[in-house]
Amino acid sequence: MWQFVKYVFATIVGLFIFSVLGFFLFIGIASMLGSSEDKASIDKNSVLKLDLNNPIQEIAVENPFAEFSGGQGNVLGLNDIKSALANAKLDPNIKGVYLYVQYPSVGWATAEEVRDAIVDFKKSKKFVYAYGEVMTEKAYYLASVADKIYLNPAGGMEWNGLSAEYDFYKGTLDKLEIKPLVFRVGEYKSAVEPFFRENMSDANKLQNQVLINNIFDHAIENISKSRNVPVTTLKNLADSLLIDAPQDALKYKLVSHVGYYDEVEAALRKELNLKEDDKIKFVGLSKYAKAEKQVKEGPSDSRIAIIVGEGAIYSGKSGDGNIGSETIAEELRKARKDKKVKAVVLRINSPGGSALASDVMWREIQLTRKVKPVIASMSDVAASGGYYMAMGCDKIVAQPNTITGSIGVFSVLFNFENTFKNKLGITFDRVNTNTHADWPSVTRDMTPFENNRLQKSTENIYATFTRKAAEGRKMPLAKLQSLASGRVWSGREAKANGLIDEFGGLDKAIQVAAQAAKLKEGEYRIKFPAQKNVFEQFMNKITGDAEEQMLQKQLGDFAPYLKTLKKLQQMEGTQARMPFDINIK
């Protein structure tokens, strides 16, 4: 009987291993097929279809299954979208663009770059149609440049303004009997408020109110130009909640049509001179990336290298969703030593993080600047540590709705003594060779002298931050400090205050870099980072999901508390970062 059980068990294990190996083999084959350099043939009278409801990041996740899944599950690359629109503008086989946009998972500055690329495409006199069953403000911002905007009759449109929301952890820390000890410099350095407050301070509320007002005002001004609707009307519609049903959006000229998808297709057939039963030749982003290039590249011996830093800043290697100072420093060194690279554009999308890691990257930027121009291009967020990276560059380019500034630092420690004692029954004792040998400690209260030393250390780092920022921006230290104190600014305010140089996206930053390197248009080639590998992304997701499910099963209602503790654990050393979670919606 035991032998039978062993054979059955071995068979089950063998089948499982075979299934797993077969799956990974399939992934490998699909990856090779997906990375094929074969050109895609584009039929005449085609329409470029952009599904902007997938997440959009600086660098796409290469998905070999994209063509088989209709693009679902993709992480779109901003440059891929812009390149497709630039190519389609010149492609005689592409007659127009169809935007499917409802809930774009994208920041406002990234949305600005996509929108600008659509506006540029329209210079070709080709059509742009947009459709959504529902549309958020951000979706409508993207759709507002279309020639025809269709909204589903049974759907809806969100038009009630923006709101910024933060998470606060004081209640969680109180429940766990964790004592936060905060050291900060700057009235507006609100990143620490979630640890000791249950709501925003007056200073934090002020800066956030100004920030979202600037972002929404910029959006409204652009929508007003596109739709020929006065700014005052757009603001009144948001205040009065008059856009309740799709018919209201039509009434106030926010959309051009209320219709179902089949009606959109009928309009497209008419635009393309097709018969009623003819199939529309849609071309997705992944396929069009393999189409013949209409935009010609410059010579390979003159390059502008794009280095992308996206996520929170830590020491070490970059990983999924974070910037590792070691990785960025290595990329800067490579670009500095590469004689083919004539200039560098540092693309930053980061709320900040480790002050030490930020300074390590700042140093490599300074060394690179001695050899060739380095231009900063700010994306959705380049604040605190993200600004630390940018301030060392020759020029800073940002969008009017970029979130930046937050020049300030903080340190935070947590005393877990009561948590261990009262929740787990664990106590601690120690012997030291010197008075402060165990300092800093997370299992005892620190003395006033020890607290003062940590505060002084934080102030020293802030002094370094502001001094280097003042030098980088070529302004008096006193003026820079008046703009610092952790204050968050929109790109519009940042330019008015001298914290950035020019408005624009990545393309503008590339132009500035080319000018600084004395390169004319057509005399250089852009060197973009490689796409992310879908296999690595897939494995990271499986590992992360499995860990989360295990914690949920083991800890139950305490699982969310552990998530909070993991966030706190990541904050090693003095931090130059924005608040943990700012949700603008």
C-beta of residue 145 within 8 angstroms of C-beta of residue 118: yes
Q: Kindly tell me the burial class for residue 255, based on how many C-beta atoms sit within 10 Å of its own C-beta (0-12, 13-18, 19 or more).
A: buried
Catalytic annotation present for 384: yes
Residue type, 183: F
Count of residues making up the chain: 585
495 in active site: no
Beta bridge partners of 397: 377, 502
The values of phi and psi at residue 61, to 5°, are -95, 120
Q: How far apart are CA 77 and CA 470, in angstroms?
A: 34
Give the angle 430-434-438 at the CA atoms, nearest 5°.
45
What is the SS3 assignment for 479-533?
HHHHHCCCCEEEHHHHHHCCCCCEECCHHHHHHHHHHHCCCCCCCCEEECCCCEE
CA distance 3 to 135: 63
H/E segment holding residue 181:
strand 179-185
| Structural contact between residues 505 and 377, judged by C-beta atoms closer than 8 angstroms | yes
User: How many whole angstroms separate alpha carbon 123 and alpha carbon 199?
Assistant: 48
- Please give the Cα distance from 404 to 214 (Å, whole number): 13
What's the one-letter identity of residue 157?
A: M
CA distance 320 to 540: 8
Q: Where do the H-state alpha helices sit in 192-316?
A: 193-196, 202-227, 231-240, 246-251, 261-271, 285-288
**3-state DSSP assignment of residue 46:** strand
Q: From 475, 532, 525, 530, select the one nearest 498 (Cα to Cα).
A: 475
Is residue 88 within 8 A of residue 125, CB to CB? The reply is no
User: Encoding tokens for residue 525?
Assistant: 């080639």
**Out of 126, 138, 189, 342, which one is annotated catalytic?**
189
CA distance 322 to 336: 23
CB under 8 Å to 269, separation ≥6 — which residues?
A: 275, 276, 278, 280
Q: Hey, what are 104's tokens?
A: 């774009």
Residue 574 backbone dihedrals phi, psi, to 5 degrees: -70, 135
Q: Which residue(s) pair with 303 in the sheet?
A: 341, 525
Please identify which of the residues 190, 384, 485, 490 carries the catalytic annotation.
384
Contacts of 3 (CB under 8 A, 6+ apart): none
> Nearest-CA neighbor of 285 among 60, 105, 22, 582?
60
Residues 6+ apart with CB under 8 A from 538: 27
**Residues forming the active site:** 189, 384
